[in-house]
Amino acid sequence: MSTRFQTLVAEAKARITEIDLDAYRRQAASPHPPLLIDVRDAGEFSAGRPPRALHLSRGTLEGKIEAVVPDLHTPVVLICAGGNRSALAAESLQRLGYTRVASLIGGFGAWQQAGLPVEKSA
């Protein structure tokens, strides 16, 4: 990972909300769980993906988010492979006016390490 990219990600993380898996699990168990959006590319799904996560790749997120999440106050948690692209995506959604956006720390790697459920394509 280049130094410039690392700086970009660090700056984004300073401006967004990041949550860990424990916080996500508490929110997911609440009466109004956040919408989990997986921003990885479809080619990254060979290891699986979180159940019920919507897929909007990082490359199409800004162009498609309004159709999928029209309410700017909907709680949204973004997940990628390791937490970097989801941080950049969270910052981008904030710029679009979304008010309750978070990036999952550690991304899908942390999800798998915690032994959380994974859906695999048939």
Known catalytic residues are: 80
Rounded Cα gap, residues 70 and 55, in angstroms: 16
Q: Residue 42: what are its φ and ψ, rounded to 5°?
A: -55, -35
- Give the ranges where 3-121 is alpha helix by DSSP (H): 3-15, 21-28, 61-68, 84-95, 107-113
Per-residue tokens: 83: 């937490």
Select from 17, 24, 18 the least CA-distant residue to 111.
Answer: 24
